[in-house]
């Protein structure tokens, strides 16, 4: 990889930075260095020097720099950008930083940026503002943008309508190819993408799609309806965003059309927007599987007491669940008094079952998220986990048997440990696979069947199985 250097040398600011490909692990250091130089330049009134630096940076890097600075200084840096770069940079910024710019920058600087933002990003900004600021922002926008914001903001969260953009190219089916190309030239600069061109009838119902390549190669007087592909995959405006992401990923689309109940086209969901959705959904699932209510912001920006609230609820539920473990132990107190050696293997037993259950739960939840596992597969999944549990339980049981002998346990105690490990791994694997499917069946998110939840549930079963096997083998 060749690295090009851009050299600056002003009287007070000798400076050198890499213009192109940085290794990713150096980006934070890069941001810190550039931010420091920009801050010094602005404090010394060298705006032209700062503007020159910014002209060589990608909008995403500028966004990182603006976010790293104090709000007032970040606003100053942002104001030095040209209009095109302002729009691109603004869309990379976090909601909180966007709000700071609204506060610190004059209307003549920030309003043109908001007007030129992509419609979906503009709505995201609108939703992030307090209600009184929403009204103020809305009134300052042109009527067309106002209507667009109101329409997109009306769709429920986590639906296709909430993440779509209305900036797409829709070509009337009766257009000739020459007319279509002229139309595209006129509107292309205001649209999100022209790689996918959609064909609609006089009622704006989606009829098909055509590529720009096909239009260029077609005869100028050919009708668009004759060269379009009528087999178009679309999603409903109320479809869940996770399902939209799955379809885009499955068919490797750059964008997918969104239609209403009358099959009228209302927008498109682009690949970059759905990537944000997938990151958000995956983060939410990871939080749930760790027994944490999903955080709205990243960990470092979430207030202390908000994190406490998000975590303590599930901790309390798990704590209550573990109370049943102590209840089960208390129930078999007489057995423990007589065979104290059994106590040494309790952690071994419950961890084996809990870990097996957590593994199964994780695999099934992920399979369901990817669409490779459905509720119809439940019998096959359970039988498969039963076989897997038997195999893994047998191997772990042998290890448990050896460990019992090493501790000087009697033969009956060693057999109890081996049999219980075998059983608890089998049961744990089956329960771990079954719980997500049951949750899905009753309309809940399978991801809440977190590893700690499954482990706590299997702990109780493991204790009961352990002492039932002990009573059977020992003839108590």
Sort 347 into a burial class: Cβ within 10 Å, 0-12 / 13-18 / 19+.
Answer: exposed
Residue 228 has pLDDT above 60, yes or no: yes
pLDDT above 90 covers a percentage of the chain that reads 44
CB hemisphere CA count around 25 (13 angstroms)? 0
- The winner for highest mean pLDDT among 46-50, 286-290, 453-457 is 46-50
pLDDT tens-digit readout, 266-277: 999 998 888 877
Residue 18 has pLDDT above 80, yes or no: no
pLDDT score recorded for residue 174: 94
Nearest to 198 by CA among 169, 226, 218: 169
- Residue 449: pLDDT band by 50, 70, 90 thresholds? low
Q: Range(s) for CATH 1.10.357.20 in the chain?
A: 299-474
Strand order in the sheet with 255-259: 235-236, 255-259, 265-270
Average pLDDT over residues 143-162: 89
Average pLDDT over residues 16-22: 43
- Residue 450: pLDDT band by 50, 70, 90 thresholds? low
pLDDT tens-digit readout, 239-251: 999 889 889 988 8
pLDDT score recorded for residue 293: 72
pLDDT score recorded for residue 27: 60
Residue 15 has pLDDT above 80, yes or no: no
Residue 1 has pLDDT above 70, yes or no: no
Q: Going by CATH, does the domain composed of 5-117 fall within 1.25.60?
A: yes
Q: Range(s) for CATH 3.10.580.10 in the chain?
A: 170-270
Distances in whole angstroms, Cα of residue 256 to Cα of each of 161, 196, 225, 239, 244: 12, 9, 19, 12, 8
pLDDT tens-digit readout, 157-215: 889 999 999 999 999 999 999 999 999 999 988 888 887 899 999 999 999 999 999 99
Domain 170-270: state its class.
Answer: alpha beta
pTM: 0.65
CB hemisphere CA count around 461 (13 angstroms)? 22
pLDDT score recorded for residue 400: 94
48, 52, 55, 58 alpha-carbon torsion, rounded to 10°: -120
pLDDT score recorded for residue 446: 83
Q: Range(s) for CATH 1.25.60 in the chain?
A: 5-117
pLDDT tens-digit readout, 324-362: 888 888 888 888 888 888 888 999 998 999 999 999 998
Cβ atoms of residues 221 and 198 within 8 Å: no
Domain 299-474: which CATH number of 1.10.357.20, 3.40.50.720, 1.10.510.10, 1.10.10.10: 1.10.357.20
Higher pLDDT, 94 or 295: 94
- Residue 475: pLDDT band by 50, 70, 90 thresholds? confident
pLDDT score recorded for residue 37: 81
pLDDT score recorded for residue 26: 57
């Amino acid at each position: 990889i060749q690295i090009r250097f851009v050299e600056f040398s002003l009287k007070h600011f000798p400076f050198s930075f890499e213009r192109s490909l940085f290794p990713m692990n150096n980006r934070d250091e890069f941001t810190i260095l550039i931010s420091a130089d920009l801050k010094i330049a602005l404090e010394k009134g060298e705006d032209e020097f700062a503007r020159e630096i910014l002209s060589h940076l990608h909008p995403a890097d500028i966004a990182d720099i603006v976010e790293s600075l104090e709000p007032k200084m970040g606003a100053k840096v942002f104001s030095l950008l040209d209009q095109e770069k302002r729009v691109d940079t603004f869309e990379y910024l976090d909601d909180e930083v966007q709000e700071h710019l609204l506060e610190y920058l004059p209307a003549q600087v920030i309003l043109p940026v908001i007007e030129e933002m992509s419609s979906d990003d503009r709505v995201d900004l609108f939703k992030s503002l307090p209600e009184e600021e929403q009204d103020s922002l809305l009134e300052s926008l042109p009527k067309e943008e106002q209507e667009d914001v109101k329409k997109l903001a009306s769709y429920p969260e986590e639906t296709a309508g909430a993440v779509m953009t209305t900036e797409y190219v829709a070509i009337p089916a009766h257009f000739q190819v020459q007319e279509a190309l002229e139309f595209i030239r006129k509107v292309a600069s205001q649209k999100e993408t022209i790689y996918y061109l959609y064909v609609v009838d006089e009622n704006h119902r989606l009829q098909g799609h055509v590529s720009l390549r096909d239009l260029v190669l077609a005869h100028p007087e050919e009708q668009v309806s004759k060269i379009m592909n009528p087999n178009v995959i679309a999603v409903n405006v109320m479809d869940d965003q996770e399902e939209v992401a799955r379809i885009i990923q499955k068919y490797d689309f750059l964008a997918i059309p969104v239609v209403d109940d009358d099959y009228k086209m209302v927008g498109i969901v682009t690949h970059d927007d759905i990537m944000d959705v997938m990151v958000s959904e995956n983060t939410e699932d990871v939080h749930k599987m760790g027994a944490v209510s999903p955080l709205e912001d990243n960990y470092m920006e979430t207030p202390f007491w908000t994190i406490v609230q998000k975590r303590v609820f599930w901790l309390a539920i798990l704590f209550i669940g573990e109370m049943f473990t102590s209840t089960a132990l208390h129930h078999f107190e007489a057995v423990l008094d007589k065979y104290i050696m059994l106590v040494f293997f309790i952690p071994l037993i419950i961890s084996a079952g809990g870990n097996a259950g957590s593994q199964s739960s994780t695999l099934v939840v992920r399979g369901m998220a990817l669409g490779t596992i459905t509720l119809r597969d439940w019998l096959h999944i359970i039988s498969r986990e039963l076989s897997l549990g038997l195999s893994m339980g047998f191997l772990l049981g042998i290890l448990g048997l050896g460990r019992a002998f090493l501790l000087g346990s009697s033969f009956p105690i060693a057999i109890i440990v081996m049999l219980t490990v075998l059983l608890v791994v089998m049961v744990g694997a089956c329960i771990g696979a079954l719980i997500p499917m049951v949750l899905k069946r009753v309309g809940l998110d399978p991801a809440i069947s977190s590893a700690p939840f499954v482990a706590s549930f299997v702990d109780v079963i493991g204790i009961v199985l352990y002492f039932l096997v002990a009573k059977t083998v020992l003839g108590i």
